[in-house]
């Protein structure tokens, strides 16, 4: 599972799948299963930080439990 934010989602997923990010290169291919949209960059960054925290990570895993099939 990868959590991040961008202003161009299609481009970012393509970059990950082409191996242009050293952090995600070894886990290709990436499949987009969930996203949230914000009109304000600061709100998006705050949400990213929350989802990367312990509580946030557990909450997103709970939301996506059937999609992830217990594999996260």
Residue 1 lies in a domain: no
Residue 3 lies in a domain: no
Residue 72 lies in a domain: no
Residue 18 lies in a domain: yes
Domain enclosing residue 19, as ranges: 9-67
CA 8 to each of CA 4, 13, 20, 31, 65: distance values in angstroms, whole numbers, following the listed order:
12, 9, 15, 16, 26
pLDDT digits (tens, 9 = 90+) for 21-70: 998 999 999 999 999 999 999 999 999 999 999 999 999 999 999 898 86
- Domain count for the chain, please give it: 1
Record the pTM: 0.79
Residue 28 lies in a domain: yes
pLDDT of residue 69: 84
pLDDT of residue 71: 58
Is residue 72 over pLDDT 80?
no
Residue 2 lies in a domain: no
């Amino acid at each position: 599972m990868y959590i991040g934010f961008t202003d161009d989602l299609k481009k970012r997923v393509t970059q990950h799948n082409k191996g242009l990010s050293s952090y995600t290169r070894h886990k290709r291919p990436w499949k987009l299963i969930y996203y949230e949209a914000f009109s304000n960059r600061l709100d998006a960054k705050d949400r990213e930080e929350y989802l990367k925290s312990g509580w946030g990570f557990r909450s997103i895993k709970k939301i996506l439990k059937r999609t992830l099939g217990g594999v996260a």
